[in-house]
Amino acid sequence: MRKDGFTLIEILLYVSIAGAILLSVSIFWTILLQARVKNQTMAEVESQGAFVMELITQTVRNSEVIVSPAIGASSASATLTVAAPKNPTIFDMSGGVIRITEGVSAAVSLTNSRVVASELTFQNLTGAATPGTMRVNFTLTHVNPGGKNEYDYSKTFYGNASLR
């Protein structure tokens, strides 16, 4: 007489193998999603930092005079004399946001709410008989309200620009 079906040992073996495969796939999937979020976090900080640095250095290059900080001094804001109607152009930081104010216009945020700016410093490196030169540095940190590792990223940006 022939019996069709599975024994209890075979069923337990198949269930344990399937469970191990599902566990492995779910762990792999979780790691993959965390890596994707980490890459997006890094890209957000990098792109905003590059944008802000490019705008500041390009504005310095195209300006006529560095009004502040004074030669040899450092400051948390910079005032530049530029062509009208954007004169003066001021870069500063307020509430963790880097801003630009052009002429009589209201301040415009250069960073968004997903990053927090800190340590914004402008240093006037202008030497005698040279065009104005300014060093800029700031740090951007991704907002991480949940304290999750994949959202934990910070980078300091450095740049120099000279008047043309």
pLDDT classification of 1: cutoffs 50, 70, 90: low
Sign, CA torsion 87/125/128/73: positive
Instruction: Output the DSSP codes for 124-142.
Output: E-PPTTS--EEEEEEEEEE
pTM assigned to the model? 0.81
d(CA 100, CA 116) in angstroms, rounded, equals 16
In the prediction, which pLDDT does 100 show?
95
Domain boundaries, the chain: 8-162
The tens digit of pLDDT for each residue in 36-50 reads 989 999 999 999 999
